Amino acid sequence: MAKQEDKFKRVISHAKEYGYVFQSSEIYDGLSAVYDYAQNGVALKKNIREYWWKAMVQLNENIVGLDSAIFMHPTTWKASGHVDAFSDPLIDNKDSKKRYRADVLVEDYVAKLDNKIEKEVKKAAKRFGDAFNKDEFLATNQRVLGYKEKGDAILKRLGQSLEKEDLADVKALIEELEIACPLSGSKNWTDVKQFNLMFGTKLGASAENTMDLYLRPETAQGIFVNFLNVQKTGRMKIPFGIAQTGKAFRNEIVARQFIFRMREFEQMEMQFFIKPGTQLDWFKHWKETRMKWHLSLGMGQDNYRFHDHEKLAHYADAATDIEFRFPFGFKELEGIHSRTDFDLKAHEEHSGKKLQFFDHEDNKSYVPYVLETSIGLDRMFLAVFSNALQEEELENGSTRTVLKLPAVLAPIKAAILPLVKKDGLPEVARKIMDDLKWDFEVTYDEKDAVGRRYRRQDANGTPFCITVDHDTLDDNSVTIRHRDTMEQQRVKISELKEIISKEVSMKSWLMKM
């Protein structure tokens, strides 16, 4: 656990030190759970967004984009159920005065059981060596089965209590498990209460004429209310999808995990409109497709898992999370929900407008069902960044900090380094940079010894360093150094574009899907 916490602290400090993520309004001591993306962070975020957009919109002729407003008519949120049901169960510790999400306290308890299982697996793998069969071990080891059974029973009871709104039982569960406040160790809890997560604001100039609004808590509703506009103007036929990326706002109770849970964050959502009755086939399709997208980035199959929901949201008839192994354990990265016709029907009722599709094949109109994929851009950023940050022991006994970002997402693709600041080398390096900058984000660095510059670029996540030396002046060749292997190659300047392009082009990465 301490190791996990150390790793997470390193992630946060590295993100700051290398210009990826800053605390918002830091000079005023910051604002809790609100962050700013710095020079490198904004580029990494843009690349992740683009990687998603290409996979969802550009490569699917039946999915189109949208950019709806953050402010929406307040009835939207009545119709969607957010006014009545978008709340978290909160509990306060009477001694530390700290507020927690009751369900998260219980889930963290279960995560500790999962950690114990992982420890057992590691121990057994060490003991049995090559003969170790992980699946068999998980299915037969009594201690592992005990942890698993206990965890499953706890989550089942939690799911049922939340479903029935039985908050007294959620408190009873916390007490039975003897869960203590992580800060003070106290077990002196208040009752569990529901807390609505939407931020309210007002529209209008004078006190008499204001209208109460909400900052949107998800981008999805902007898609639903535009369903018919897009379908008609785009002459879309079912099945078709509408995708958008944009800010969402939630007054989160537990907001301690850096950019994992923020109060202002960005979502990348796609609503796929389908014929009623086909939802389970599409659910399976999008589960597989989205997992392939994640795996195409090469961050390791073992770092992902599905978590099918016991407790379904008020709008869903099937739901799963794609969970990622963050530095603090497996947590939700993306949600895939079969939302039925809940949203469109609710908007029909509240607006009095029909939101239906006329199916020429069946010669009838219906309210489409919806399959949703929804991923947090900031959470994806944290997954990519934390997975990339590594400390490596080198052969000479020294260590290097390297940010092994997938090259396709790296903010800067190549650094151009003149070996020395004289003899015409900077001029050649600048010329190379001026040529490459039309195709890639590149940077120029002439300060310090070249070894130190390599380390700086490693820590920054730059996949290539291109060094210009005295031989370059004679033979137009440079040294290209690969971040992950530290391998160095002598190549012609004229070959650089092709070499870099092969490694960083979105096409070659997305083709792995």
Is residue 262 close enough to count as binding ligand GAP by CB under 6 A?
yes
Alpha helix positions (H), 324-476: 342-351, 377-388, 425-436, 450-460, 470-475
- Among the residue ranges 60-68, 108-116, 371-379, 406-414, the one whose residues contact ligand GAP (CB under 6 A): 371-379
Among 241, 327, 335, 368, binds ligand GAP (CB under 6 A): 335
Cβ nearer to ligand GAP, comparing 150 with 309: 309
Query: Is residue 331 close enough to count as binding ligand GAP by CB under 6 A?
Result: no
Cα four-point dihedral sign 483, 488, 493, 496: negative
Let me know: does 191 contact 171? Beta carbons within 8 Å: yes
Q: Which is nearer to ligand GAP, 110 or 223 (CB)?
A: 223
User: How many residues contact ligand GAP, by CB under 6 A?
Assistant: 19
Q: Does 418 bind ligand GAP (CB under 6 A)?
A: no
- Among positions 378, 445, 446, 458, the unique one binding ligand GAP when judged by CB under 6 A: 378
Closest CA relative to residue 111, chosen from 193, 185, 179 = 179
- How far does CA 378 lie from the centroid of its chain? 5
Q: Measured from the CB atom, is 33 or 238 closer to ligand GAP?
A: 33
43 membership: H or E segment, kind and range? helix 39-53
The residue with its CB nearest to ligand GAP is 376
Which is nearer to ligand GAP, 214 or 454 (by Cβ)? 214
Name the residue among 383, 375, 374, 373 with its Cα closest to residue 259.
Answer: 383
Residues 6+ apart with CB under 8 A from 401: 14, 389, 390, 391, 392, 455, 458, 459
Find the binder of ligand GAP among 44, 56, 299, 333 (CB under 6 A).
333
Minimum separation from the CB atom of position 269 to ligand GAP (A) = 6
Q: Which of residues 345-364 bind ligand GAP (CB under 6 A)?
A: none
With binding defined as CB under 6 A, does residue 243 bind ligand GAP?
Answer: no
Residue 374 vs 457, nearer CB to ligand GAP: 374
C-beta atoms surrounding 339 within 10 Å:
23
Q: Which lies closer to ligand GAP via its Cβ, residue 297 or residue 500? A: 297
Q: Please give the angle made by the CA atoms of 37, 6 and 46, to the nearest 5 degrees.
A: 20
Helix (H, G, I), strand (E, B) or coil at 20: coil
Among 162, 238, 375, 409, binds ligand GAP (CB under 6 A): 375
DSSP string, 71-105: B--THHHHHTTHHHH-EEEEEEBTTT--EEEHHHH
Q: Which is nearer to ligand GAP, 347 or 413 (CB)?
A: 347
If one asks whether residue 20 binds ligand GAP (CB under 6 A), the answer comes out as no
Residues 91-150 that bind ligand GAP (CB under 6 A): none
Which position has the token pair 């683009």? 50
Residue span binding ligand GAP (CB under 6 A) among the ranges 94-102, 289-297, 373-381, 410-418: 373-381
Report the 3 state secondary structure along 228-274.
HHHHHHCCCCCCEEEEEEEEEECCCCCCCCHHHCCCEEEEEEEEEEE
Stretch that binds ligand GAP, among 376-384, 396-404, 414-422, 483-491 (CB under 6 A): 376-384
- Give yes or no for residue 446 binding ligand GAP (CB under 6 A): no
261 counts as binding ligand GAP under rule CB under 6 A: yes
Q: Does 254 bind ligand GAP (CB under 6 A)?
A: no
Q: Which of 218, 343, 445, 446 binds ligand GAP (CB under 6 A)?
A: 218
Which residue, 269 or 446, has its beta carbon nearer to ligand GAP? 269
Q: What is the 3-state secondary structure (H, E, C) of 339-374?
A: EECHHHHHHHHHHCCCCCEEECCCCEEECCEEEEEE
- Which residue, 252 or 445, has its beta carbon nearer to ligand GAP? 252
Nearest-5° angle of CA 81, CA 210, CA 225?
35
Token pair in block for residue 480 = 């290209």
CB 63 within 8 A of CB 240: yes
Which of 88, 92, 103, 252 is in the footprint of ligand GAP by CB under 6 A? Answer: 252
Rounded to a whole number of angstroms, the minimum distance from the CB of residue 425 to ligand GAP is 45
Distance from C-alpha of 152 to C-alpha of 308, rounded to nearest angstrom: 12
265 makes contact with ligand GAP (CB under 6 A): yes
Q: Which stretch binds ligand GAP (CB under 6 A): 40-48, 136-144, 330-338, 348-356?
A: 330-338
**Which listed range, 3-11, 107-115, 333-341, 436-444, lies at the site for ligand GAP (CB under 6 A)?**
333-341
220 touches ligand GAP by CB under 6 A: yes
Phi-psi region of 23 (alpha: psi -120 to 50; beta: other; left: phi over 0): beta
CB-wise, 216 or 404, nearer to ligand GAP? 216
Residue 335: name the closest of 385, 283, 299, 387 by CA: 283
Residue 346 C-beta: closest distance to ligand GAP, Å: 14
- Neighbouring-strand partners of residue 318: 338
* Phi–psi pair at 447, nearest 5 degrees: -90, 140
Question: Interface with ligand GAP by CB under 6 A: which residues?
Answer: 218, 220, 250, 252, 261-262, 265, 267, 269, 332-335, 372, 374-376, 378-379
